[in-house]
Amino acid sequence: MKMFFTKKEYEIMNVLWDQERPLSSADIIERTEDLPQSTVQAVLRKLLKEKMIEVKNVTIHTKVATREFTPTLTREEYIESLLGKGNCFRFAAQFIKKNEDKEELDHLEELIQKKKERNDG
């Protein structure tokens, strides 16, 4: 299974990941800034062929069958595949060093604390 996306593939995958429901190509076009319809449809065909997305529903809109897509992997699974098991620590350390957003750092600290409590419990 391919685990590296082009810029356009990643943009479309992010749109799909950000939604809690299947999206049609028209839905995706509405949510992307600079991608023309032909590009979105070509990228969807490629992602479908590579099994990165799947057709979840087929609906009828104005007498035309419309496919709705969902991702087959989560954003977290994708990021983990890019980082690999050994690189997660280095990535987290670099993120903490470079990040100045107190809210994000507080959230990260909360996640670490919860993980420690589960491991101790």
d(Cα 93, Cα 96) in Å, to the nearest integer? 5
pLDDT beyond 90 at 10: yes
Same domain, 50 and 90: no
Looking at the structure, tell me whether residues 102 and 49 fall in a common domain. Answer: no
**CATH at residue 23:** 1.10.10.10
pLDDT confidence of residue 119: 86
Statement to judge: residues 89 and 66 lie in one domain: no
Domain residues for the domain of 41 are 7-71
Structural domain includes residue 47? yes
State the burial class of residue 48 (Cβ atoms within 10 Å of its Cβ: 0-12, 13-18, 19+): middle
Environment class of residue 53 by beta-carbon count within 10 Å: exposed (0-12), middle (13-18) or buried (19+)? buried
Q: Which parts of 7-115 are beta strand (E)?
A: 53-61, 64-71
- 1 has pLDDT over 60: no
> What are the distances in angstroms from CA 94 to CA 10, 54, 78, 100?
22, 34, 19, 12
pLDDT band at 83 (very low <50, low <70, confident <90, very high): confident
Residue 65 falls inside a structural domain: yes
| pLDDT value of residue 85 | 61
Contacts of 35 (CB under 8 A, 6+ apart): 8, 11, 12, 29, 43
- Whether residue 66 sits in one domain with residue 35: yes
